A and B are shown apart, each in its own frame.
Chain A
Amino acid sequence: MTHEDYVAPDGASISPLIFSDPALYELEKRRIFGRAWLLLGHLSQLPRPGSFLRTFMGEESVLVTRDRNGKIHAHLNACRHRGFQVCQEDRGTTTRFQCRYHGWTYDSDGSLVMVPGEDQLYYSEIDKCRWGLVAVARVETYKGLIFGNFDADAPSLQDFLGDMAWYLDIILDRREGGTELLGPQRWRIAANWKVVAENHCGDEYHIGFAHGSALPPDLLSSNRAAPLQFAREIRPGLGHGLGANIFPDHMSPRDWLNQGPPSPPCVLDYMVRVYDEMAERLGQQRAHISLIHGAVWPNFGMVPIFNTLRVIQPRGVNEVELWSYCVVDRDAPPEVKAWVSAHSTRAFGPAGSFEQDDAGNWTAVTRSSHGVESRKHRLNLQMGVGHEERSDRMPGEFGLTASEINQRGFYLRWMRDMFEGACS
């Protein structure tokens, strides 16, 4: 098999080998996680000078800080002396990161400020300016979200997001005050990261079956293969994908809010108020779109219908850590935030009525990709091939309620990043 066979030219079939080959995973670390914009967190997690959090870019431990002057930084969480992680905590506030191995100490802007024995043992010959923490080459924000990129030559974050940004605004920019993140919940799943990411990116087909236990019975009885009446799959391009309810112009927010799971009056009233603000900020068309699921290439997944954003952190070829956050409007009343986060937890996250059943699917797909016989045979992603549509009102290409348009976009992007014009 040559690399051309991993993903068919039209994306309509793939080899299971891409989920299990350790050599491909090593290449992904460089060509995907070494070059893509990766989600680090949200400005709300770093509220004041000295705030920090610890996260990952691919498998690299990364320290994200707000320095004394309020500037956001991201550095490799590794002391320049022996590589020890200078930060061993998930979050907090400090302006001093002291390595506990030999005591080299860094400021929250990454500069090396103290070396024990600098005068005596190093004869005052160490140039501290050269030995600060290694900065992540690029750090940019989009509407509160902080992204990092190891590639100094990468396109801007805005160009990387492309038309996905138009849809992301529906979550991130619908209110003046923007959003904040709660969490994360973190758990390990024995699955290849792409199996998890493609599900977030494009899979509405599984909802009626895999999540049959969590759906209201009336939805199940109508059409299990396409349970969401107004939903479309949308491919904004560049490997990103999403599914969204696109409500007809004649419907008002109360019409569709009443079709969803029952929510208390304070939440319903809030959502109607948000609709008005959103229509003013983003226009009537976007106010009529409600995002269901999606993913920003490569590993930033989301289930906005239950207010969850997550990073699918790869941990080797066979494992991920899911870091799942709840996104809420910053200026929402406390009772709305409390309901939204509890409601989110009941559906998604490790104990959620939906998500409990997802992990088993992802581990099973990963497991079968290891079989020498199983992985000789290709997997089918042809749903909706050749039936992609355009709209004159919204960017991207469209598929039906369930379509594999986005999985194809995801794996074609994977092929491009892995094998086209790649030199490292």
Chain B
Amino acid sequence: MNSEGMMRLLQVQQWLYREARLLDSRRYDLWLEMLDDQVRYRVPSRAYIRQAHVKDFATWSVERELECDDALALIDDDLAALQLRVARLQTGMAWAETPPSMTRRLVSNVMLLDSDADGSLSVVSTLFLAKNRSEGRALFTAERRDRLVIRGDDFRLRERFVVLDDVVLSSENLSQIF
């Protein structure tokens, strides 16, 4: 990786860390500003499925375990839906987050995969999210596949696809942003 690439990776990492910090400190208003107008935010559900060609590791895929397109995702949001998700928290009646849960996000394994012809960046990262509420602690691990668009010195989230490592979620709800 050349120095330009290193610089870009550092910028992306800092952007992801900033996002995690905003969410952990509940600044959802500032988080919304990190989103592109065309944002698509999806969390597929997952199932135990046999691999099609067991002898060929090259065909072993996570993809066939995921239900999203033409199926039922866990979350399938556009910008308007994400804005509603956040606005709900300000009604004072979003009981799942009243009082707010305590969250901590660890973001690591950040890799810059490629940059598209339109100048957007494909980024994967690993998320470890711990959420604590009166009824107990929920832990999530996930791969996030993001597409970021470049806006001057900054980025906007155009697409996020979250691969959770859960089949039956052990959390009573998904009230948090991944």
CB within 8 Å of B: which residues of A? 88-92, 182-190, 209-214, 321, 325-326, 334, 337-338, 341-342, 344-346, 349-351, 353, 355-357, 359-361, 363
Cα separation A186 to B45 with both chains bound (whole Å): 8
The chain B residues found within 8 Å of chain A, CB to CB, are 43, 45, 47-50, 67, 70-77, 81, 84-85, 88-89, 91-97, 135-136, 167-175
A-chain residues with CB within 8 Å of residue B174 when the two chains form the complex: 350-351, 356
* Minimum Cβ distance to chain A for residue B19 (Å): 18
On whether the beta carbons of A326 and B72 are closer than 8 Å, the reply is yes
Inter-chain CA distance A117–B152, complex, in Å, is: 71
A91-B47, A187-B168, A356-B94 given; name 12 further pairs at CB < 8 Å: A90-B47, A185-B74, A189-B172, A190-B135, A341-B71, A342-B73, A346-B76, A346-B84, A350-B169, A350-B173, A350-B174, A353-B88
Number of A-B contacts (CB under 8 A): 122
Which of B75, B95, B171 lies in contact with A213, CB distance below 8 A?
B95
Interface majority SS (helix, strand, loop, mixed), chain B: loop
Interface pair A350/B91, CB less than 8 Å apart? no
Q: Which of B72, B81, B170 has the most CB of A within 10 A?
A: B72
Complex CA–CA separation, A331 to B95 (angstroms): 38
| Chain B nearest Cβ from A358, distance in angstroms | 8
Partner of B169, one of A188, A325, A341, A361: A188
**Residue of B76, B77, B95, B97 ringed by the most chain A CB atoms within 10 A:** B95
**B48 surroundings in chain A (CB, below 8 A):** 88-90
A359 partner, pick from B43, B72, B74, B173, beta carbons under 8 A: B173
Chain A residue with Cβ nearest B176: A351
Q: CB-nearest residue of chain A relative to B69?
A: A338
Q: Are A187 and B49 in contact (CB under 8 A)?
A: no
**Chain B residues within 8 Å of A356, by CB:** 94, 96-97, 173-175
The residue on A at minimum CB distance from B45 is A185
Interfacial chain A residues near B94, Cβ < 8 Å: 213, 356-357
A91-B47, A188-B172, A351-B43 known; A183+B71 contact, CB < 8 A: yes
**By the criterion CB–CB under 8 Å, are B95 and A345 in contact?**
no
CA distance A357 to B101 in the complex (A): 13
Contacts of A190 in B (CB 8 A): 135-136, 172
- Decide if A325 touches B72 in the complex (CB within 8 Å): yes
Q: Are A341 and B67 neighbours in the complex by a CB distance under 8 Å?
A: no
Do the beta carbons of A351 and B74 come within 8 Å of each other?
A: yes
Bound-complex Cα distance A277 to B38 (A): 36
Q: How far is the CA of A341 from the CA of B77 in the complex (A)?
A: 11
Instruction: Say yes or no: A359-B169 contact (C-beta < 8 A), given A182-B71, A353-B85.
Output: no
Query: When A344-B72, A351-B43, A353-B88 are in contact, do A187 and B169 touch as well, CB less than 8 Å?
Result: yes
Whether A90 pairs with B173 at a CB distance below 8 angstroms is: no
Find chain B residues with CB under 8 A from A342 CB. Answer: 73, 76-77, 81
Measured between alpha carbons, how far is A186 from B88 in the docked complex, in Å?
23
CB proximity of A416 to chain B, nearest CB, Å:
31
Give chain B residues whose Cβ lies under 8 Å from the Cβ of A182: 67, 70-72
CB closest residue in chain A, given B136: A190
Highest count of chain B CB atoms <10 Å: which of A186, A214, A351: A351
B95 and A89 contacting across the interface, CB-CB below 8 Å: no
